[in-house]
Amino acid sequence: MNAIYPSLTKALLLNAFFLHMGFAAVAQHHTSTNKEIRQDIETMLPEGEMTANVADSTNYTLSLSIANNGNKIWFYTYDDSSPAPSILDQTSIDLGKNAVILDGQELVYIGKITVIGKENSLQSKWKGHCWSSERPDGNDGKYHQFVLGKLEPSGQTYLHIQIKEIKQGEEKLSLDYPLLF
């Protein structure tokens, strides 16, 4: 079997996902080096405190800090309106492995994303990266996705976490967390 099929399948799934989310996106074959991806991540996630807007509701903001020890990036959130920790508190990026740890699961790098049109929920072109967990084989399980991008021309960072739950073969969205900062 040709080795291009797994990469082609990932690209097609990534395109389908972003079309479903309302983005005209081009998923690109994994040609970036880990060093280039690491530089992109560190540019999009600078250390320090900031306020993020939930991208689907401009009325809600989240105060957060980003920390980086050179090998790992992690998040701290400060949300007085909710006693439960944010999913970001359970998220980190292993820069050496180019993996995202989300809700206790390790997500693998899927590829680079280029959103080519402004006709989407962000009303902006943007470029970024996507990580994903394996889709459960059986009827039950969870499927995690983490997207990190930079909007053009504003330079804002777009961070989107999605967790989909599959029960008895039916897929439903259990968490949709788009942030802009």
Helix/strand/coil for 34: helix
Closest-CA residue to 128 (of 104, 111, 103): 111
Q: What is the pTM of this model?
A: 0.78
CA pair distance 176, 164, nearest whole angstrom:
9
- pLDDT score recorded for residue 2: 33
pLDDT for 130 equals 95
Helix, coil or strand: residue 139: coil
R_g (Cα) of the chain, nearest Å: 16
Could you tell me the residue range of the domain that residue 137 belongs to? 4-180
Contact yes or no for 14/24 (Cβ under 8 A): no
- Domain total for the chain? 1
Q: Provide the residue count of the chain.
A: 181
Classify 119 as helix, strand or coil.
Answer: coil
Q: Looking up tokens 């970001």, which residue turns up?
A: 88
For 154-162, the CB contacts below 8 A with 24+ separation are 154/124, 156/180, 156/181, 157/44, 157/45, 157/181, 158/55, 158/122, 158/126, 158/128, 159/52, 160/55, 161/87, 161/88, 161/91, 161/102
Q: What pLDDT shows up at residue 124?
A: 84
- Residues (pLDDT < 50) of the chain are 1-9, 11-12, 16, 19-20, 22, 24-25, 29
